[in-house]
Amino acid sequence: MIRLENLTKLYGSFVAVDDISLHVPRGVLYGCLGPNGAGKTTTLRMIAGILRPTQGRVLLGGDDVHANPLAAKMRLGFIPDRPFVYDKLTGAEFLRFVAGLYGQQGDVVGRRIAELLEVFELTSWKDELVEAYSHGMRQKLIISSALIHRPECIVVDEPMVGLDPKAARLLKDIFRQFVGRGGTVLMSTHTLEVAEAMCDQIAIIQHGKIVAAGTVSDVRRQHKAGDASLEELFLKLTGGAQVRDLIEVLGA
């Protein structure tokens, strides 16, 4: 469903994403893990068509995001990590606007908006301007907007940031059900427990490259990590020594 072919992104001479190739099949929840600045967000923004790759291409359901953007983007729901939305629209107006961007109109949109607001417990806020929403409520609104056109795949950057435990649980359930019905989710996260519990497959990215990929068991096997937890595996692959140094610094 999501295919990355030799994806590379340069900012001047800095290599943010370095020749990444990846295939996320239909019906899979795929997690991108990596330390800060590893290139996860850049990769996801290239998949969403917001950034243009320096080299390589992104295919969504066979359509190239940059060569055939409209067809590819119709399949996609994108949830960014920073919930910037129009402050002077109400929640319901924002969702109607997004539905319009995907060519949807009429009563069906009204029903879908009501349904999503209900699920995310925003119904009583639907006529409030977004400027009055908390960070978590904005995040819920953006998640609703990504689902409004019933996408085939969802690309989500740090989905749990700002969500209360109930909403976080709801989102996990939604993603699992979505994948269960044949949808595809590609998400980046720092929360290793979430990744371990939710993801069918993972990729660990560091310095713009994939350093490990597969199921958690595959990655353990590849790196001879025995029964190590995902956290230990992650630290081993991305520089656990630095964490020990940090503990010494804080201890001193």
Partner 1 sequence: MKQPSLAHVLQPKWRTALQRLREEREKGGSGKLVILIIVGGAFWAGVFGVLYLILRNLRKVEELGPLIPGKILGLILLSFISILVLSNVITALSSFFLAKDLDLLVSAPVDWLRLYLAKLGETLLHSSWMVALMVVPILAAYGVVYKGGVLFAVYAMLAIVPMLILPAVLGSAVTLVLVNIFPARRTRDLLSIIALGAAGGVILLFRMIRPEQLARPEGFRNLLDFLILLRGPTSPFLPSEWASQAVMGYLQHRIDLLPLMLLWTTAAAFVTLGAVLHRALYAQGFTKAQEGAERFIRGTLWRWTVGPLLGWLPVAKREFVLKDIKLFFRDTTQWSQLILLAVLVVVYLFNIQALPLHRGEPVGFFYVNLVSFLNLGLAGFVLASIAARFIFPAVSLEGRQMWLLRSSPLDLRALLWSKYWVGTVPLLALGVLLTGMTNALLEVSTFMMLMSLTTMAALTLAIAAMALAFGTLYPQFETENAAQIPTSFGGLVFMMATIALLAGVIVSLWQAVYAYVRAVYEGRPVVIDAWMFLWFGVAAALCTAATIVPLRLALKKMETFEF
User: Closest separation between CB of residue 152 and partner 1, Å?
Assistant: 13
User: Closest separation between CB of residue 202 and partner 1, Å?
Assistant: 23
User: Closest separation between CB of residue 86 and partner 1, Å?
Assistant: 6
Structure tokens at 207: 């310095």
CA distance 252 to 248: 6
User: Closest separation between CB of residue 239 and partner 1, Å?
Assistant: 29
Name the residue nearer to partner 1 (CB basis): 80 or 183: 80
**Strand 29-33 relative to strand 184-188: parallel, antiparallel, unpaired?**
parallel
CA distance 125 to 192: 32
Name the residue nearer to partner 1 (CB basis): 90 or 229: 90
Name the residue nearer to partner 1 (CB basis): 74 or 211: 74
| Closest C-alpha to 66, from 39, 41, 45 | 45
| Residues within the interface to partner 1 (CB under 8 A) | 45, 48-52, 69-71, 73-74, 76, 78, 80, 84-86, 88-90, 92-93, 96-105, 127-129, 131-132, 145
Name the residue nearer to partner 1 (CB basis): 157 or 233: 157
| Closest C-alpha to 115, from 106, 126, 104 | 126
CA distance 78 to 75: 10
Q: What is the dihedral of CA 63, 67, 69, 70, to 10 degrees?
A: -80
Residues in Cβ contact with 48 at an 8 Å cutoff, skipping those fewer than 6 apart: 65, 73, 76, 78, 155
Name the residue nearer to partner 1 (CB basis): 131 or 164: 131
- φ and ψ at residue 206, rounded to 5 degrees: -145, 140
Name the residue nearer to partner 1 (CB basis): 128 or 200: 128
User: Closest separation between CB of residue 158 and partner 1, Å?
Assistant: 13
User: Closest separation between CB of residue 183 and partner 1, Å?
Assistant: 17
